[in-house]
Structure 1
């Protein structure tokens, strides 16, 4: 057996990112940059660190699963930004950085003189990414924002939930994760120009804007005259039929995306009279008669178990899936074949993160170092930036930085 190759450097190799974010959106953005090869230096508060370090249970060896899922491939530096020497230390790191990501309160940024205007004037080459609940402009720019608030305000919750029921939050950190993805995309685009022209940029990311992007088709339809949508259990898609159905044993999702697919579906499940009905030949007709169609289809699908229908519909080339629980998702053959679950090093398989959604041919194996212990790389990073051992000792003694030696914290 040949030895495994080391992870490839990635297209962002050589990019230095200072990550001053906490919780989930900003750390996700920085992690995706790290996955692509960037050197991400995570700046944390001494003694407490990122808020997400305490999100749990579950914890594995005192490490939060939530924190681990958004912080792989980073180094941690403890700096107290309330102290002048701490701010000076941060600015020393920024002097050679390519990207700075923050999600702090604007007032705190200005008092520390690390707000966009100040830093961009001092470091014109720097790509500054500000992540917030509502953006840098507008009447609510100073309001705090979290995933739940963004889902509520964007209208996302208003269309989610059972028909006739109350609005529901999508039960994952959707706003945070999408904002992180979008931030990583915008930063990567800015890096292209930075490398070509030597110029920086200001990237203004908000949870609300990203959730509005998720709602784009629903907003467009409403403004074009469609009725205001309400929770419907996913049965009111612009497409018909495009929803879940009860079978003999469990729920099955069926996604019919065009007229030819509708015909194949009807014949496959034994409803040829629906295929022959000219009033149902196009999507508009199927939407108009959705109630009747759903009754007939569900009555038919209830006659056999979901896995049997999976085989029938797969042969007919009709998109469908079991509505899987996480116990099934993590054992799904496609998920495992794609290497989507990354064991966190040093946890003996008790903790995993999820592979970033992109896969590059140039990167044969994903970067997958464990999320860093708090302040584990302070001395290492500062030495790289010209600090002597005496400088580091003095800063640590004053409390401006935190230095904690951990075993097994290599990159």
Structure 2
């Protein structure tokens, strides 16, 4: 159960979804992730639901496998000192606090990197560590709106739509995990740390990179179009006789094969459609002709025809189909959460490494489940741990209040 990040110790104070996703990916790669949570409620995402399985949130479970939970009261000076002890022995510290709170607690990156030069400090925020809006709170919805992502998403001539998943959070988590992993290479070679500054807005701007580049190069400003305004034509969904499927014609040779395969060979011979620029200029006409043809047969029939011709296509699958998709199952993308009798699943990280032949998949931690264990590993004696619990500086899994603080 090793991996390239085996031996890396991560202290993660992030909440909600982006930060926990980032630290989960690091844990999947072998890191020891210590999840630091506040007393009583813990991570906000523990209470995101329904759905709940028992008292556990499915959202929380999906971003917190392979971690250990420690509860520390940062309002108590000894709790704060305890956290600093953990940070001092860690390789990576992750946070998504408000900058003012960080400075008040002496947990800002200037202070911690001065005290611990080896430390990789990963700051996760809505809008980044600098700029006029650095202190604004950030959530997925706001990032999708501000980045322009919503302005190009939705049905044609309809109002802008949010991509209906935590896209900003997951992308930001991936970006953070990538940057931290890169910083670890230098840390292991040179013994020095780094500052990783990752934001929801920056991640969504990266998603929008091709659209921004096209607009700045002279393309008209895009609007919601149901996915029919790609740089490529034909590259969108169509309604077959029974259901929708998408067709992606990626180059000129593919276009000629496509026309023959669907029974419209004359289109392949037209000089005004020989290249993508011409097809884009005639997109509306093409969509009408192709759409009428696709509507004459079922989606399954077109899948067979187009597969034989080497044309990328796919059914527009519902989630009930996604979770039973033969490729999804063959790749073991769905991970049953241990101890839940199959009632909860998470999604496997989107990478495979030979150094991790068996996927790491330990159950998400209960709140404070590992407080005593982790502190003992960091040199705290039994009597010291008992005293910290008594004064409320820390909580273990048995002493915590399991109800959410409203």
Band the TM-score falls in, shorter-chain normalisation? over 0.9
- How many residues were matched structurally? 399
2: CA distance, partners of 1:95 / 1:219: 42
SS in structure 2 opposite 1:100?
strand
Task: State the 1:361 CA deviation.
Answer: 1.4
Could you tell me which residue of structure 2 aligns to residue 66 of structure 1? 59
Could you tell me which residue of structure 1 aligns to residue 387 of structure 2? 394
2: CA distance, partners of 1:309 / 1:206: 42
1: CA distance, partners of 2:334 / 2:342: 10
Could you tell me which residue of structure 2 aligns to residue 32 of structure 1? 25
1:76-91 mapped onto 2 (5 Å cutoff): 76-91=69-84
Q: Deviation digits for residues 222-262 of structure 1, max 9, x if unmatched?
A: 11111000000000000000000011011110011100111
TM-score (norm 1): 0.96
Task: State the 1:365 CA deviation.
Answer: 1.1
1:222-233 mapped onto 2 (5 Å cutoff): 222-233=215-226
2: CA distance, partners of 1:404 / 1:31: 21
SS in structure 2 opposite 1:81?
coil
1:123-138 mapped onto 2 (5 Å cutoff): 123-138=116-131
2: CA distance, partners of 1:231 / 1:85: 53
Q: Deviation digits for residues 81-101 of structure 1, max 9, x if unmatched?
A: 111001100011011100000
Q: Deviation digits for residues 118-173 of structure 1, max 9, x if unmatched?
A: 10000010000000000000000000010000000000000000000000000000
Task: State the 1:61 CA deviation.
Answer: 1.6
2: CA distance, partners of 1:140 / 1:404: 38
Could you tell me which residue of structure 2 aligns to residue 306 of structure 1? 299
2:6 to 13, 25, 29: 13
Could you tell me which residue of structure 1 aligns to residue 402 of structure 2? none
1:365-380 mapped onto 2 (5 Å cutoff): 365-380=358-373
Could you tell me which residue of structure 2 aligns to residue 113 of structure 1? 106
Q: Deviation digits for residues 192-229 of structure 1, max 9, x if unmatched?
A: 00000000000110100110010001001111111000
Q: Deviation digits for residues 329-351 of structure 1, max 9, x if unmatched?
A: 00000000000000000000010
Task: State the 1:405 CA deviation.
Answer: 4.0
Q: Which runs of 5+ in 1 are unaligned?
A: 1-7, 407-411
Q: Does 1:155 find its partner at 2:178?
A: no
Report the RMSD for the aligned CA atoms in angstroms: 0.7
Q: Does 1:250 find its partner at 2:240?
A: no
Could you tell me which residue of structure 2 aligns to residue 201 of structure 1? 194
SS in structure 2 opposite 1:222?
helix
SS in structure 1 opposite 2:277?
helix
Q: Does 1:237 find its partner at 2:230?
A: yes
Q: Deviation digits for residues 285-337 of structure 1, max 9, x if unmatched?
A: 00000111111101000000001100111111100000000000000000000
Could you tell me which residue of structure 2 aligns to residue 3 of structure 1? none
1:318 to 311, 317, 323: 311
1:56 to 40, 49, 54: 49
SS in structure 2 opposite 1:365?
coil
Q: Which runs of 5+ in 2 are unaligned?
A: 400-406
2: CA distance, partners of 1:56 / 1:10: 33
TM-score (norm 2): 0.98
Task: State the 1:276 CA deviation.
Answer: 1.1
Q: Deviation digits for residues 333-374 of structure 1, max 9, x if unmatched?
A: 000000000000000001000000000112111100011000
